[in-house]
Amino acid sequence: MAQALTWLIVLIAIGLIIWVLVRENDRRRERTVDEWEREFAAGQGKLTQFIQAGALGLEGILISEKREAVKYQKDEEQGMTKTGTKGDDADRTTVN
């Protein structure tokens, strides 16, 4: 009986969470422009701003990496990145 009561409480809690999420979603859909502006000014839109800032930062990193990859590929085509054998770098590989 105690186990059944525990599961009943868990199921009720899950049901309440789903119900709250659905109501919040409906409330957000039906709000006016003034209500949206008030909520945004109060800071409820900041999560979206953080996500956008993170996406822009990620985009900046990816663009710089893409530029470096293009540079490397151009260098490789010109033969600047391939060292070949140790004989090519005799000054660096000889032991004094």
> Over the stretch 47-76, which tens digit does the pLDDT of each residue have?
667 777 788 888 888 888 888 888 888 887
Distance between CA 26 and CA 28 in Å, rounded? 5
Cα-based distances in Å from 88 to 45, 73, 74, 91: 60, 21, 21, 9
Cα-based distances in Å from 5 to 8, 9, 14, 16: 5, 6, 14, 16
Mean per-residue pLDDT of the chain: 80
Tell me the pTM.
Answer: 0.40
